[in-house]
Structure 1
Amino acid sequence: MNWRIIAIPATLIPILIIAIRFDIKFEDVLAIGIIPFVLAVVSMIIKLGLQGIKFAYIAQKYLGKFDSFWKLCGVRVGSEFIKFTTPMFVGAEFVVIYYLHKKGVAPSKSTWIAIMDIVTEVFAGGLLSIMAGIFALMNGAYVIGALILGISITITSLWMVLFFLSSRRTFQVPKVFVRLVKKFSKEKGVKYIDQTNSWMEEVCTMSRKNLRTSESKKVFTVSFLFSLASWSFYGISFMIIAMGTGYIIDTFHSIMAVMGANAIGNLPITVGGSGLAEFGIIAYLNNLDPFNLTIPQGTVTWDAVIGWRIATYYVPILVTWLLLVKLALSKIKKNENL
């Protein structure tokens, strides 16, 4: 876990480059005002809280009241620390699987719950990002719109296809990987391959058992709505920050800008999407050529974007770290009834 803490300062590098390149001073960021900044942080905490409530809802629907609802919320919020500190689209699910496993939940059940959680998150976020891409194209931002659509459609389609196919067929480790593992790892590798195939078979069995039931359809629908609300508060956080700098933006445009930026930030290039998300918002709102980041007068400025990044990343990362250590990684009494 220590390497993740070391990775956090690395996310400052793109911000420092932006500050130097566009002559953004610390007092420019402070000019946003304490109230808009605090409200933006609160909006982000609400987003994380809705994610936690959704996970607790899913877990208790499939496992009953085996654990405290609010503790489950805290574990899910804490798991976001992994997402904040890795250059990838997802990652938080591994923490909740680990937590549920320590509570005595079977690997197939814990994985199914994590998958239901992340798929609804990806589906809602992907849908909003696709809307943002279409909106950008409609307003003549062809390059940035095509980029957003390309990333969003690819990621969303991949997750949704795999999710629904899991109820129709049993996935196994691709043969090309099996051959490589057998070649380099010998007997130990074969053991891990067999364990992985067995785990994937159990997950697909869980999918066939649950996915088509009316109860699971209800869980999916409610979770999807929670995810939409969660992503909406993410967009609202930027609207609040922008208004603090005197730039007026309505809720719809704010959500579209943030979700477009979020799609670009999901590229596995930088830790936590640092630099990519900032670039995405500026390019989206100003309808710019991605290779020309000179901002026209009267539009959103870099200090607003940097302030938003601090409010929605650096402050929440402390909250998620504390919850991760206190709840998900602490000693847990196993529930033998699961």
Structure 2
Amino acid sequence: MNWRLVAIPVTLIPIILIAIQFDIQPEDILAIGIFPFVGAIIAMMIKLVLQGVKFAYITRKYLGNTDSFLKLIGVRVGSEFIKFTTPMFIGAEFIVIYYLKKKGIELSKATWIALVDIVTEVLAAGILSMLAGIIALLNGAYVVGIVILATSISITALWMVMFMLSSKHTFQVPNVLESLVKKLAKQKGTKIIDQTNDWMEETCTIIRENFRRPESKKIFTVSFLVSIASWSFYGISFMIITMGTGFIINVFDSIMAVMGANAIGNLPITIGGSGLAEFGIIAYLNNLNPFDFTITEGILGWDAVIGWRIATYYVPIAITWLLLVKLALSKIPKTENK
């Protein structure tokens, strides 16, 4: 966990470079005003809480009263710290699996809960991002639109294909990788491979079982709709920030801009998408040449983008870290295995 804390200052580097390049002073950020900042933070926290509500809903539906609803929400919100400090759209699911396993839940069942959570999250984000990419193309932002579509389609398709295939086939560690691990790690490698294959077999089995349950369709649909609402508040947070700069943007355009930037930020290049998301929003809203990010008078400026980044990343990252340590990673008594 310590390396993740070290990684946080690294995410400041792109922002500092942007500020230097485009002469953004601290007073420019402060000029946005306290109310837009607070409003954006509240909108972001609503997004995270909705993610927690969805996780608690899924867990309760499949496992019953395994834990309190509020604690499950807190664990899921805390797990977002991992996503904030990794250079991809994945990470949070490993924390919820770890937490449920500590509670005495079978690993395969914990994995199923995490899969429903993350797949509905990816699907909702993917659909919104694809829509943003199409709108970008229609408005002449061809490079930005292509990058958004390529990233969102790739990530969404990968998750959905693997999820659907797991409901029909039992996956095992590929033979090439199995031979390599066993050769390098000897007996320990054989044990690791056997445990991994057992887990994959159990997970695929429970996926097939739950796919056949009539209530699974309803659970998936409700979870997907909550994810759409959650991502919408992510976009609303940007709209609120821009109000402090005098730049008028409606809710739909704000959501599209943020989801397009989110798709670009999912490229595995920087930690937490730092730098990528900021450039993504500017390029999306201003239809800029991808190699020329000079902001002219009368359009969205870098102060709004950096302010949004502070409100929706650096403030929530402190809150999610506290919840992660206090809830997900704390010592807890095991409940009866489910």
- Same fold at TM > 0.5: yes
Partner of 1:36: 36
* Cα drift, residue 133 of structure 1: 0.3
Partner of 1:117: 117
Identity %: 74
Partner of 2:204: 204
Partner of 1:230: 230
Q: How do 1:86-125 and structure 2 match up within 5 A?
A: 86-125=86-125
1: distance between equivalents of 2:213 and 2:288?
47
2: distance between equivalents of 1:14 and 1:337?
46
Partner of 2:8: 8
* Cα drift, residue 32 of structure 1: 0.5
* Cα drift, residue 239 of structure 1: 0.5
Q: How do 1:99-248 and structure 2 match up within 5 A?
A: 99-248=99-248
Task: State whether structure 2 residue 23 is matched by structure 1 residue 23.
Answer: yes
Q: Which runs of 5+ in 1 are unaligned?
A: none
1: distance between equivalents of 2:28 and 2:146?
32
Which residue identity is paired with 2:177? F
Query: Contact conserved, 1:54 with 1:223, CA < 8 A, in 2?
Result: yes
* Cα drift, residue 183 of structure 1: 2.1
Partner of 2:251: 251
Q: How do 1:65-104 and structure 2 match up within 5 A?
A: 65-104=65-104
* Cα drift, residue 106 of structure 1: 0.2
Partner of 2:265: 265
CA distances 1:71-90 after superposition (whole Å, capped 9, x unpaired): 00000000000110111111
Count of residue pairs brought into register by the alignment: 338
Q: Which runs of 5+ in 2 are unaligned?
A: none
2: distance between equivalents of 1:293 and 1:123?
31
**Farther-moved stretch of structure 1 (245-254 vs 175-184):** 175-184
* Cα drift, residue 337 of structure 1: 4.3
CA distances 1:242-289 after superposition (whole Å, capped 9, x unpaired): 111000000111000000000010011111110000010001001011
1: distance between equivalents of 2:191 and 2:277?
41
Name segments (4+ residues, structure 1) moved above 2 Å.
none
Partner of 1:300: 300
* Cα drift, residue 66 of structure 1: 1.4
Query: Contact conserved, 2:136 with 2:145, CA < 8 A, in 1?
Result: yes
TM-score, normalisation: structure 2: 0.99
1: distance between equivalents of 2:22 and 2:122?
34
Q: Secondary structure in 2 aligned to 1:104?
A: coil
Superposition RMSD on alpha carbons, in Å?
0.7
* Cα drift, residue 179 of structure 1: 2.0
Partner of 1:325: 325
Which residue identity is paired with 1:35? F
Query: Contact conserved, 2:41 with 2:311, CA < 8 A, in 1?
Result: yes
Query: Contact conserved, 1:286 with 1:296, CA < 8 A, in 2?
Result: no
2: distance between equivalents of 1:54 and 1:224?
9
2: distance between equivalents of 1:77 and 1:297?
39
Partner of 1:49: 49
Query: Contact conserved, 1:75 with 1:324, CA < 8 A, in 2?
Result: yes
2: distance between equivalents of 1:163 and 1:215?
18
